[in-house]
Amino acid sequence: MIYIVNKSTDPAYNIALEEYCFKRLKQFDKIFILWINEPAIIVGKYQNTLAEINERFVKEQGIHVVRRITGGGAVYHDLDNLNYTIISNEEEGRSDFDFETFSQPVIEALAGLGVKAEFSGRNDITIDGKKICGNAQAYADERVMHHGCLLFNTDLTVLSKALEPSKETVGSKGVKSVRSRVDNILPHLKEGITVCEFADKILEEMISRFPEMRPYEFSEAESREIEQSRRDKFGNWDWNYGSNPPAEVVRESRYPAGKIEVFLDLKHGKIDRIRFFGTFFGRNGDLAEVETRLKGVKYTPEEVKNALTAIDVRHYFTGFTVEELTEVIAG
């Protein structure tokens, strides 16, 4: 097992680094990363970016906007919050996301600082009922990547403004993240520490759990590859913004496992094109199979359900049933 204390604060580079570790450092069964970003909004893989941000405020404040490779909702980062990533080989027999297990080291580290935190809801860590950390995960090639955003001493006023979409930019059809009551960790600590000292506490907790952990440094070739990914993908407007496709039918619903927005083009009563957006998670990040399976299907609940039954939808929409997907697509 290795750990990486990433000193970069460039959000696009840091997301590229995270993806590199996830997909390229497969020789290590476990990887732990700590990182801090300059002010940024990190949107979920399946979200409509403009439905998540106050575009005018974001531009005025120079806040970065970067899309990550995991599902879930948009989060705000700044230099006073701490991000952590845990990458590991998938445990045999696991068929769903296990946010609680991966959140335990953070909860234990906070306990060591005299703060009682607990896992709550779908993927949150809370203190006194207020969210101090959201989590997201991705699967690929029998590996799982889990990451969390810890609000240590974040400017909550900026967070609130940055994540409030401008009414003139986004209409009512945008699928927007639910804004939970949030709080910072620092006010709950008995003694004041910096976010870097807090990061040290988290690392100490991980090393105590995994004493075999060793530091890892990237080679020059690895650093160049990460930089190229930053430049070509995560620093690119097409990846971070893109656009929702024009569509005849736009449907949206919220379920316990997340939100889904569906864009449909119909031709002669059949689905000609379909796209999915939202805050859902999926073990398989490529929805092309689902979209292809539905192309040409008669636009009725019965026919849509039959088409979805032919594939394992849990791989693409974790926690959703065929019935729920049928409902949001064809009602």
User: Rounded CA gap, 326 and 331, in Å?
Assistant: 7
* Position 91 pLDDT exceeds 70: no
Q: Does residue 78 or residue 268 have the better pLDDT?
A: 78
Sorted by where each begins, the domain ranges of the chain are 2-240, 249-330
Regarding beta strands 2-5 and 30-35, do their DSSP bridges make them parallel or antiparallel, or are they unpaired? parallel
| Residue 174 pLDDT level (bands cut at 50, 70, 90) | very low
CATH superfamily of 2-240: Bira Bifunctional Protein; Domain 2 (3.30.930.10)
Q: What are residue 66's DSSP bridge partners?
A: 42
Measure Cα distances from 230 to 58, 67, 110, 149, 225 in Å: 20, 11, 32, 20, 9
Highest mean pLDDT among 130-144, 176-190, 222-236, 263-277: 222-236
Residue range 294-321: average pLDDT? 93
CATH architecture of 249-330: 2-Layer Sandwich (3.30)
AA letter at 94: R
| Residue 178 pLDDT level (bands cut at 50, 70, 90) | very low
Q: What is the pLDDT of residue 90?
A: 76
Measure Cα distances from 64 to 12, 85, 162, 316 in Å: 8, 20, 11, 28
Instruction: Confirm whether 2-240 and 249-330 share one CATH topology.
Output: no
User: Rounded CA gap, 305 and 323, in Å?
Assistant: 7
